[in-house]
Amino acid sequence: MVRYIRTTAELTADLVELERQIAHLRVQQAVIVNELDRGQARLTDASRTTAEYVQSHADVSTATARDLVLVGTTMGHHRTVNRDLAAGRITFDRAVVTLAHLASHASDEEMAQIADLNLEDARRRLASRKRLTLGDEHSLHARRHFTAQPSLDRTHYRLWGEVPGYEGALIEKAVVERADEFQRQSPDVATNRGQRQADALVAMAQDSLDRREEERDDPNPGGPTVTVFVDARETEPTETAAEVAFGPRVGPVTLESMLCSGSVRVVGLEGDQPVSSSASSRAIPPAVRDAVALRDGGCTIDGCRSRYRLQPHHITPWSHGGRHEMDNLTTVCWYHHHVAIHRSGYHIDPESPPRRRRLLRPDSSRGRIPRSHDPP
């Protein structure tokens, strides 16, 4: 049997022809996107921009969605590009770069130079010749905003906003650096980049609040900073009806974590009546906290050098019968404590040495993970 093998020249010709067909389809999409933009389709769902609408509905990347919007909304103003694209003389990517240069008011001379550049150089040229006018800067500055919106049941928040480039880069750098720090300290805690960045943002907010506490002449240093109301009759450890005074509702994980942090006062309720019950003894007494901190001197997780926001933690949780005893408490850094243990469900191996604590993975259901170097 003889197989027909295409030559390099034939393959290349096919590649180019297919790209021409892609351009043809993209132009049709761009025309549709332009109509969606004029019809304000973004208002029909939660999208803030047409690009966002296109991105979510067509399942394309942010860059592709932005390109489609750019071509769709500007193609009509530039007849040459329009004609070249329709005739298949330029690719869709080339049209995007050309239109972007035209939109940033490139001169005819510059446009001629750009036509001779490869796409990457043409894109770079675009970034370097982008000039911000005073008016541009004012409007970027005026558009700045940040919103933290709680869900109706106050179980979670959505955060979004927009800031000018310089401030955005500053925020991004700070968040990324803090997230990387967490990863260095806890390489074996499984988190993705987005999760670590969210953790970083929380840590930064916590730092800011702590600084305020330090600056204020606190008449009651180390005293409770929040009050939590819990159902005094509650016995089930897997769900709680706890509520922070003037704040969000919290689940068992957050409650347990707040109790370790110490800056909390627990009030047991029966109906709406405060009662004296075991609930109020759930926070670690200050003297025990101090003694544990003195004994441990730093995070006790094996290999961790962090001294960031050290806190005592119950090795056997209160909800599983663990008590505020020295042997049941160990010092951990904020990331190991808050993120790895309480949020992600890792727990401390009670059999690990007191200064070199090991974490057990969440799926080990409070059992021990066999380790290759452990004796059988």
> Binding residues for Zn ion, per CB under 5 A?
260, 299, 301, 304, 306, 313, 333, 336
> Kind and range of the H or E element at 290?
helix 286-296
Torsions phi, psi for 217 (to 5 deg): -75, 95
| HEC per residue, 179-216 | HHHHHHHCCCCCCCHHHHHHHHHHHHHHHHHHHHHHHC
Exposure string (b/e) for 218-239, b if CB count within 10 Å is 16 or more? Answer: eeeeeeebeebbbbbebeeeee
Compute the least distance from the CB of residue 371 to Zn ion, in Å: 19
Q: In the complex with Zn ion, which residue's Cβ is closer, 41 or 293? A: 293
Compute the least distance from the CB of residue 195 to Zn ion, in Å: 17
| CA-CA-CA-CA dihedral for 355, 360, 366, 372, to nearest 10 | -100
Which amino acid is residue 88, in one-letter code?
A: G
Q: In the complex with Zn ion, which residue's Cβ is closer, 113 or 206? A: 206
CA 274 – CA 297 distance, rounded (Å): 37
Q: In the complex with Zn ion, which residue's Cβ is closer, 69 or 340? A: 340
Compute the least distance from the CB of residue 365 to Zn ion, in Å: 19
Compute the least distance from the CB of residue 312 to Zn ion, in Å: 7
Compute the least distance from the CB of residue 202 to Zn ion, in Å: 16
CA 372 – CA 375 distance, rounded (Å): 8
Compute the least distance from the CB of residue 227 to Zn ion, in Å: 19
Q: In the complex with Zn ion, which residue's Cβ is closer, 95 or 299? A: 299
CA 52 – CA 66 distance, rounded (Å): 8
Q: In the complex with Zn ion, which residue's Cβ is closer, 306 or 319? A: 306
Compute the least distance from the CB of residue 53 to Zn ion, in Å: 43
Q: In the complex with Zn ion, which residue's Cβ is closer, 197 or 300? A: 300
| Six-digit token string for 194 | 């987005």
Contact 335, 199 (CB under 8 A): yes
Compute the least distance from the CB of residue 336 to Zn ion, in Å: 4
Taking only Cα atoms into account, the Rg of the chain, rounded to an integer number of angstroms, comes to 29
Q: In the complex with Zn ion, which residue's Cβ is closer, 100 or 339? A: 339
Compute the least distance from the CB of residue 325 to Zn ion, in Å: 14
Q: In the complex with Zn ion, which residue's Cβ is closer, 60 or 244? A: 244
Alpha carbon 112 to chain centroid, angstroms = 43
Q: Where are the alpha helices (DSSP H) in 39-86?
A: 50-58, 62-74, 79-86
Question: What does the DSSP assignment read for 117-168?
Answer: S-HHHHHHHHHHH----HHHHHHHHHT-EEEEEE-TTSS-EEEEEE--HHHH
CA 136 – CA 138 distance, rounded (Å): 5
Q: In the complex with Zn ion, which residue's Cβ is closer, 31 or 202? A: 202
265 CB neighbour count, 10 Å cutoff: 14
